[in-house]
């Protein structure tokens, strides 16, 4: 039985040290209140460097403005203590205590919030085409994400 616990704890320690895979960017795209501007917001480890609307019937429309806010604050993992009680009149009262201790360093990438604004043409048909968003990291590696146009 002791061997099973040792193997389990060793596997748990190895899993805790493994870096998490990169996640997909959190993207939001929608029209402004007046319906003339497409607003795109992304929270990702890399900033937006280009964005364009590619309607089915006209030339691609590039973003008029791209803003980058570096970096968004992360919630820090701190040591903690929790105390609780449960029970009732017939079962008695049970007390519990828990401890939280972060192990290792935080390896999550710092998130960068980027926004892009694309002016829509007068004859824009809603839902026609795609929105192409290009992200680039500090090394120059580019990643392209396509979304259906709103």
Q: 63-119, pLDDT tens digit by residue?
A: 999 999 877 665 666 777 778 777 766 767 777 888 777 666 655 567 889 999 999
In a domain, 6, yes or no: no
The span from the CA of 83 to the CA of 105, in Å, is 26
Length of the chain: 150
Report yes or no on whether pTM surpasses 0.75: no
In a domain, 85, yes or no: yes
In a domain, 8, yes or no: no
DSSP letter at 16 equals H
Q: Residue 13 burial by CB count (10 A; 0-12/13-18/19+): exposed, middle or buried?
A: exposed
In a domain, 11, yes or no: no
Looking at mean pLDDT, say which of 31-45, 64-78, 122-136 comes out highest.
31-45
pLDDT number for residue 85: 74
Q: Residue 133 burial by CB count (10 A; 0-12/13-18/19+): exposed, middle or buried?
A: buried
In a domain, 119, yes or no: yes
In a domain, 106, yes or no: yes
DSSP letter at 122 equals T
In total, how many domains does the chain have?
Answer: 1
What count of Cα atoms within 13 Å lies in the side-chain half-sphere of residue 6? 3
Q: Tell me the average pLDDT across 125-150.
A: 86
Domain of residue 51: give its range. Answer: 25-148
Reading the block at residue 123, the tokens are 């004859």
In a domain, 105, yes or no: yes
In a domain, 4, yes or no: no
């Amino acid at each position: 039985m002791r061997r099973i616990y040792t193997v389990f704890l060793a596997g748990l320690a190895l899993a805790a040290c493994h870096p998490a895979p990169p996640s997909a960017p959190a993207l939001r795209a929608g029209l402004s209140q007046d319906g003339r501007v497409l607003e795109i917001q992304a929270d990702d480890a890399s900033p937006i460097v280009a964005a364009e609307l590619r309607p089915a019937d006209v030339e691609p429309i590039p973003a008029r403005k791209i803003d980058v806010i570096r970096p968004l604050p992360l919630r820090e993992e701190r040591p903690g203590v929790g105390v609780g009680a449960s029970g009732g009149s017939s079962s008695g009262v049970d007390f519990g205590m828990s401890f939280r201790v972060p192990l290792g360093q935080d390896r999550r990438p710092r998130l960068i919030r980027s926004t892009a604004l694309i002016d829509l043409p007068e004859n824009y048909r809603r839902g026609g085409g795609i929105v192409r968003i290009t992200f680039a990291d500090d090394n120059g590696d580019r990643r392209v994400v396509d979304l259906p146009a709103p």
